[in-house]
Chain A
Amino acid sequence: MKVLVAVKRVVDYNVKVRAKGDGSDVDLNNVKMAINPFCEIAVEEAVRLKEAGVATEVIAVSVGEKPCQEQIRTALALGADRGIHVEAEGRIEPLVIAKLLKGVVEKEQPQLVILGKQSIDGDNNQTGQMLGALTNMPQGTFASEIKVEGEKLNVVREVDGGLQTISLSLPAIVTTDLRLNEPRYASLPNIMKAKKKQLDVYSPADLGVEVTSHITLVRVEPPAERQAGIKVEDVAQLVDKLKNEAKVIS
């Protein structure tokens, strides 16, 4: 079984992001970039399927500018077999990414596509679902456990207030939630091996997709500064403040 995994290059989630002075965008100058955490989980799951003998080949694909090859290399070091870079400039919207991934799906014909449930930069939570619609493949989103059983893929999903198990026919799409697995570290010997793995580069035109834009980023602003805490003298004062200032109790 061939597995395709999408990986996105995003701002490292431990970095405190700042808005540009003019509020036009997030300031990415000299900021540490990393694999989107949910994509890292997707790669780990695909590699585990391979280690379990279920997957035969794991392909990591990333859409973006040249530097996102670093994140493809990370995926290769974690155990993916080869990489595909769809080179596209600028801010690419989920719909376009989904169309580009559809192009890759048509070329590679994977039985399973694993994506993060969302990327922590855009927080869109759309790409996996859109890819499902475009390719007419069933989708199991917010997966916390997956298991291939014969021709079926069972997905345990994290839904409000509990878990839901669904069974999908293959080929299928899965988007990962946080508890699906704990990704491994990239070992140094594997990073070296990853350098020799195949990495193909496509342009959107190669995949027959035109990069369009429907969304304009109007403004980015930081959250309001949190007010400093105060110390209350006694319980009575605390209750009074909760009642009359914070208005959280009555």
Chain B
Amino acid sequence: MSNISPEILQALQACVGESRVLTDPDSLALYGRDWTRAHAPAPSAVVLPGSIAEVQAVVELARARQLALVPSGGRTGLSGGAMACQGEIVVALDRLNRIEDFNPVDRTVRCGAGVVTAQLQAFAEEQGLFYPVDFASSGSSQIGGNISTNAGGIKVIRHGMTRDWVAGLKLVTGSGELLDLNRGLVKNNAGYDLRQLVIGAEGTLGIVVEATMQLARPPQNLTVMVLGVPDMAAVMQVLETWQGAMDLQAFEFFSELALQKVVAHQGLQRPFETPAAFYALLEFEQHTEADLDQAMALFEHCVEQGWVVDGVVSQSVAQAQALWRLREDISETISRWTPYKNDISTTIVRVPDFLAEVEAVVARAYPDFEIVWFGHIGDGNVHLNVLKPDELPMAEFQQRCGEVSRWVFEIVQRHEGSVSAEHGVGLLKKDYLHYSRSAAEIAIMKQIKQVFDPQGIMNPGKIFDL
């Protein structure tokens, strides 16, 4: 139930219009949470501004009345960044969903923060271009959310993170100013690049209201291979073999248990019957037959070395899509076991040792739990998912996972890795931030936060406590 005072309710309604302020229990539960399930949502209201001016009006009101705001995009976040658990006001950007103008010379497009990622991808395709940031939730996530989490995904090995595609953005800061950062310029060395601070700030510096996104040439004839690999060390050998010879568009991996779950729950076909501990999914452009011959030669080499036991290659777009689903449907498939997710990374060269240590800890700590491994291994990023046994209460499960996380993060720290490779810190990882950021770094982050948001109204309690 909302406990918002009638006076603030009225003031919010004055900012965005009466019908754009929601306080019914369903809306509060819906807009108050992201994809995570560790906390209960409890916002006091949801506002849906329809213009930048309305966003500014809401921020002004929040400043005047010292109200906490939670910016909200597609709420597919996996770190609790968009959770509103303490009576905050959710500012949902859904209505800023217009693609404003397309600039074919610069290959940029200006869009509202609420444009859905897939909408931008489709728009790019209509122009004969390509927006390369992609992942399983792109049908719901928003550009503002992607920017605020610096989302990665399945094409990072070739195209980088969201950061690499933001040519400009507009931000309403916690102090109510509207900043127009970088304005689509390729070159702009006139002082600090504040845009880069906003990317990945998880809504703690202000609200992203608009972005100018860069588009790319579309890839040609994408071909997908799925290879069966006996162990993690071999996965890395396969990666190195391919990286040395071809430009990969993607290099993903998943474990046998992940495959079993996806095949059983999504009605998909196994790529081949030969059992393997892990599977690598590779994607590359096939310009000519020579590219496929090259890939075949690499495959043969890997088989001879004992790094690969079997493999398939897509013969059509439909098969490429079906093979991708083996990887892309994992998150959704396992969500029914409310998994405890770790999204960890290190440099690629350190991945084998790092993973061997993590695997040992996990095997020791969770002999009775199902563990599903998958991730963007070509970027040094693995998702370690511990599935909750149905009979175990949530609180107990969280507590056991939390303890083991510390051991895992100690390994991350020793390997100079990251406790959050691409999902952000939000609420879920803030206790562990110090495993990958020094005290001095965190102190500067807090000072930056205070400059942008002196009253602490922007997504308070996320990333760190002040």
Report whether A14 and B315 are in contact in the complex, using a CB–CB cutoff of 8 Å: no
| Distance (whole angstroms) from the CB of B129 to the closest CB of chain A | 15
Closest A residue to B292 using CB positions: A191
Provide the residues of chain A in CB contact with B321, threshold 8 Å: 14
> Would you give the 0/1 interface string for B396-427, flagging 1 where the beta carbon is closer than 8 Å to chain A?
00000000000000000000000000000000
Q: Do B312 and A13 touch (CB < 8 A)?
A: no
B440 in contact (CB, < 8 A): no
How long is the Cα–Cα vector from A83 to B48 in the complex, in angstroms? 63
Question: Do residues B296 and A182 form an inter-chain contact, with CB atoms below 8 A?
Answer: no
Contact call A15/B311, Cβ cutoff below 8 A = no
CA distance A13 to B321 in the complex (A): 12
Q: Which single residue of chain B is at the shortest CB-CB distance from A71? A: B315
Could you say which residues of chain B place their CB within 8 Å of the CB of A70? 289
Residue of A nearest to B311 (CB): A188
In the complex, what residues of B have CB within 8 A of residue A32's CB?
221, 316-317
Q: A14-B318, A192-B300 are in contact. Are A182 and B312 (CB under 8 A)?
A: no
Q: Which residues of B contact A35 (CB under 8 A)?
A: 315-316
Closest to B295 in A: A188
Interface presence of A17 (CB below 8 A): no
B319 interface residue per 8 A CB criterion? yes
Given A32-B221, A192-B296, are A185 and B312 neighbors across the interface (CB < 8 Å)? Answer: yes
In the complex the two chains form, is B317's CB within 8 Å of A187's CB?
Answer: no
Bound-complex Cα distance A14 to B289 (A):
20
A53 at interface by CB-CB < 8 Å:
no
Q: How far is it, in angstroms, between the C-alpha of A14 and the C-alpha of B324 when the chains are bound?
A: 15
Q: Is B310 close to A, CB under 8 A?
A: yes
Contact A188 to B316, CB < 8 A, known contacts A14-B321, A32-B221, A182-B269: no
Q: Once the chains are docked, how many angstroms separate the CA of A187 from the CA of B311?
A: 6
Residue of A13, A34, A187, A188 contacting most chain B CB atoms (<10 Å):
A188
CA distance A130 to B32 in the complex (A): 64
How many B residues, CB 8 Å from partner? 25
Q: Does A184 contact B (CB under 8 A)?
A: yes
Q: Do residues B271 and A188 form an inter-chain contact, with CB atoms below 8 A?
A: no
Indicate if the CB atoms of A188 and B313 lie closer than 8 Å. yes
Q: Does B272 contact A (CB under 8 A)?
A: yes
Q: Which residues of B contact A191 (CB under 8 A)?
A: 296, 313
CB-CB nearest in chain A for B300: A192
Closest residue of A by beta carbon distance from B224: A185
Question: For B315, what are the chain A residues with a Cβ–Cβ distance below 8 Å?
Answer: 34-35, 74, 185-186
Give the docked Cα–Cα distance between A14 and B225 (Å). 18
B278 at the interface (CB under 8 A from A): no
Q: Does B299 contact A (CB under 8 A)?
A: yes
A185 and B271 contact, CB distance less than 8 A: yes
- Of the candidates A15, A30, A34, A185, which one forms a contact with B272 in the assembled complex, judged by CB atoms under 8 Å apart? A185
**Would B221 and A185 count as touching, CB distance under 8 A?**
no
A186 with B312: CB separation less than 8 A:
yes
Which of B289, B312, B317, B318 meets A188, CB within 8 Å? B312
Task: Indicate if the CB atoms of B317 and A15 lie closer than 8 Å.
Answer: yes
Find chain A residues with CB under 8 A from B311 CB.
187-189
Top 9 closest A-B pairs, CB basis?
Answer: A14-B317, A185-B312, A34-B316, A188-B311, A12-B317, A188-B299, A12-B316, A74-B315, A187-B312
13 new A-B pairs (CB below 8 Å) besides A185-B269, A187-B272? A12-B317, A13-B316, A13-B317, A30-B220, A32-B317, A34-B317, A34-B318, A182-B269, A185-B312, A186-B315, A188-B227, A188-B312, A191-B296
Write 5 A-B pairs (CB below 8 A) sorted by A numbering.
Answer: A12-B318, A34-B316, A35-B316, A185-B272, A189-B303
**Interface set of A (CB-CB < 8 Å, partner B):** 12-15, 30, 32, 34-35, 37, 70, 74, 182, 184-189, 191-192
